[in-house]
Amino acid sequence: MLALVMALVVTGCASDAPQSALDPAGPFARSLHNLFIPVVWVATAVFVVVEGVIVYAVIKWRRRADDDGEVLPAQMHGNTKLEIGWTILPALVLGLVAIFTIPVIFELNAKPADALQVSVAGQKYWWGYTYGTQPQFGITQANGIVTANELHIPAGQTVNLTLTSTDVIHSFWAPRLNGKRDVVPGRSHNWLLEADQPGVYAGQCAEFCGTSHANMLLKVVAHDPVGWTDWVEQMQREPLEPVSGAAARGFALFAQKGCSGCHQVDGSYEMVAPDSPSAPNLTHLFSRDCFAGCIYDLNDRNEMEAWLRNPQRKAGSLMVVGALTEDEIDDLYAYLETLE
């Protein structure tokens, strides 16, 4: 029993956990944390008092060895004072918790107009992000910025996410920056994020959404002001269509093999087939570090080639392609690499 408890306790600990709500890195996550910790202590106090009384009673009034059981203890039913007491006391405790909780609910549901606005689309099994034109954040391009899986934000600034889904219910969760928010088809939910410091913050889909739910990770990349300007500039640059060599062959294959039926590349391939599953916009694929729900390393060429060979290596993936030869894969890779 003790070994089991110890095992549970030990698996609950990691000194370098990248995705811990107990290590808040921004004001919204901190508000939740500041609520969570005192409530845990209140709950602990209640637990100790209630369990203490139970253990005391069980020991004090246990059946003794010399008790033959012939004389029953006094039988009683109900104690009005006690029952009123243990109804009112928990109500008071919960009322106290509510006093601190309610302002945080309002804080987390605010929709600050001066925040960076990003639309987030949860889909099987990846995250799509669209930033509309917002000159105050450097985004001047008429069609904004579209990217996937990695959400880039300026550090120290409030970001207002608008969450939508076209398939099933997902949940957006970047624990060090805020709690979870459901992403529900037919509805639009708001959620705030803010990171104090530049850095990379891990997250994931937190609502079971199908076979590859566990492979639907995300990353929030918070930039310092210079890094943010650079990123925005890179995202607004239109990639050049390759004119010769492997990349040009890959560019042609991108249409021939049906990739352009699902994937958009701004300026080159802009019409996806109406019945295709929604797929990540690849215009600036190589501005990212991870792909396919952030489970593969984009800087590892082998991972990308393995993906093109068999996108079903991610269970339940909605990417379906016919068999490609190794030469075709090399050419496609050469083209994808130009999308930075």
Question: Which residues bind to Cu ion, rule: CB under 5 A?
Answer: 170, 205, 209, 216
CB 176 within 8 A of CB 19: yes
Q: Which does 218 bind (CB under 5 to 8 A by kind): ligand HEC, Cu ion, none?
A: none
Torsion on CA atoms 335, 338, 339, 340, rounded to nearest 10: 160
Report in angstroms how near the CB of residue 215 gets to Cu ion at its nearest. 9
Q: Which member of 263, 264, 268, 283 binds ligand HEC (CB under 6 A)? A: 263
Report in angstroms how near the CB of residue 36 gets to Cu ion at its nearest. 24
Q: Does residue number 210 form part of the binding site for ligand HEC (CB under 6 A)? A: no
Q: Does residue number 277 form part of the binding site for ligand HEC (CB under 6 A)? A: yes
DSSP string, 182-225: EE-BT--EEEEE--SSSEEEEEEE-S--STTGGG-EEEEEEE-H
Q: Which does 317 bind (CB under 5 to 8 A by kind): ligand HEC, Cu ion, none?
A: ligand HEC
Q: What is residue 180's three-state secondary structure?
A: strand
Q: Does residue number 315 form part of the binding site for ligand HEC (CB under 6 A)? A: no
Report in angstroms how near the CB of residue 170 gets to Cu ion at its nearest. 3
Query: Of all residues in this chain, which one has the CB nearest to ligand HEC in the complex?
Result: 259
Report in angstroms how near the CB of residue 262 gets to ligand HEC at its nearest. 3
Report in angstroms how near the CB of residue 21 gets to ligand HEC at its nearest. 25
CA-wise closest residue to 290 among 129, 163, 148: 148
Cβ-based nearer residue to Cu ion, 170 or 176: 170
Part of the chain binding ligand HEC (CB under 6 A), chosen from 38-46, 134-142, 194-202, 319-327: 319-327
Cβ-based nearer residue to ligand HEC, 46 or 315: 315
Q: Which does 170 bind (CB under 5 to 8 A by kind): Cu ion, ligand HEC, none?
A: Cu ion
Pairing of strands 170-173, 126-131: unpaired
Strand residues in the chain grouped as ranges (E): 116-123, 126-131, 145-148, 150-154, 159-165, 170-173, 180-183, 189-193, 199-205, 217-223, 290-291, 296-297
Q: What is residue 62's three-state secondary structure?
A: coil
**Separation CA 190–CA 163 (nearest Å):** 6
DSSP string, 82-129: HHHHHHHHHHHHHHHHHHHHHHHHHHHT---TTSEEEEEEEETTEEEE
Cβ-based nearer residue to Cu ion, 121 or 153: 121
**Separation CA 301–CA 298 (nearest Å):** 7
Q: Which member of 46, 233, 320, 340 binds ligand HEC (CB under 6 A)? A: 320
CA-wise closest residue to 154 among 207, 191, 118: 118
Q: Does residue number 231 form part of the binding site for ligand HEC (CB under 6 A)? A: no
Residues in contact with ligand HEC by the rule CB under 6 A: 125-126, 148-149, 212, 257-259, 261-263, 276-277, 279-280, 282, 285, 288, 291-293, 308, 314, 317-321, 332, 336
